[in-house]
Structure 1
Amino acid sequence: MTKTELKPFWNKLFKFDWKFGLFLIALVCIPRFILVLQANQTGNYEPIGAVMFVSALVPFIFLNKYGRRKIGIIGTENIAGLVLSLILGVAFSFLLFFLGKELYGGSYHNWYQYIGKSYNIPEDIAGNDKLILFSIMATTGMIFSPIGEELFFRGIVHGSFAKSIGEKKASIVDSLAFALTHIAHFGLVFAYGIWNFYPIPTMIWVLSMFLVSIMFFRTKKRTGSLLGAIFCHAGFNLGMIYCIFYLL
């Protein structure tokens, strides 16, 4: 008897294939895109935390134990691989910082500059107060989005496409979905009371998000677990938040 990844209830409604993957992308990414745009306009980012929580729950809602293990929700003994994953994430975030700084300086064409405004960092903050705020933001950034997004994109979405088109092509699909979803974070820019779209910076940002997604997938494969992707993503977020707090 062929094993199935979906729980019995969902197995009556879906097959674990590319159609299911598209369904999940539409179910999660479209509302998320809209909520992020609204948050950029209103300054209320609490709903984004809820989106990350829901994203993390999706594999547990739909998949049985076999399915969860198959998509990479397992431990790993490759501690060196996890450390390397973290370092690679930090390194990529710094490369992206220097690229944005070199091309666009302190303008909102710079992706980190625009994302940084959502942190509401007081201009006169310094010393221990700045360190405390950075520590809070870094801890949050290293937990919620890495877990939520990796369980979703490199986990259940990737797994559903991989069963239909193979691992390599599936990594391209989940990376594209991840990258395009992040246009809501930078690309459609709300500043000074109006919306703008910056084509070239957006193309660079989307390409960067695609490439970092491929790196997340590679670290998952290297460690044999989604922990590799989560650690790499956490490293990227740590580096990005450090750059926003201390280098911009």
Structure 2
Amino acid sequence: MFSSFKKDLPYGYGIFNQQFKNLKLVWSYGQYGCYSSLLLKIPSENITLTLLANNNLLSNPARLINGDATSSLFVLSFLKNYMLGLTDMPLFEKQDAISEGFSNNEFFRKKILGQALAESYMARFNPEKLQSSVKLLKHVFTKNLNYLEYADLNLLHTLLLLKDAAHSEFNDFDTQIETIGKKLLEQEPNNPYIHSYLGTFYSRKGNKEKAKYHFESIVNAKNFSENWYIDESKKWLTENK
């Protein structure tokens, strides 16, 4: 785990603490190739959600490693129905009919982004999910024009994951990727995930100079733990001398 995430772990390694609206969320997750788990506690309400699964879908599609429980549709469903009284709001949006009545609701935007993230993950298995994720993202960007106000690492991940799933030239969201990446690096200039995402993005665009900068930022950093992003960065730099 990258060291910058430790600010979210005041209760001990692997226990996250975050604020969502007026609720304090204390949570943790587990993940391996064939199982996953999710634990969410809301101390002020004395209520706990515990989920176990025999696959990794409780955690991996939501990128819980990035430290935001509200990127999980399981968590959002729990909050929507039991904490926020939004029982009339559907959890999933249909590709041909996105709900309009909740467009200005912050939670609705969060829910749409959570679904887009999950469907971008599933697009590798079902090509139809790519288009539905694209439509959800375009809806959010249209209704909430200043996307930098809510842009985070998971949104950047979603946009890049769609390019992985496309298996062909896919130029949608290039502007958002560059703008969001720049903003996130200003906040966390040493975050290896951001550098890895942008390095891969620029490599695919044929801009080797910018790709090299991001991959070298990973390899030359002193505080990065050995992980996949170092191996992939070294491989790219070796192949593109």
Q: TM bucket by the smaller chain?
A: under 0.3
TM-score normalised by the chain length of structure 1 = 0.25
TM-score between the two structures when normalised by the length of structure 2: 0.25
For CA contacts below 8 A with separation 6 or more, give which structure has more relative contact order: 1
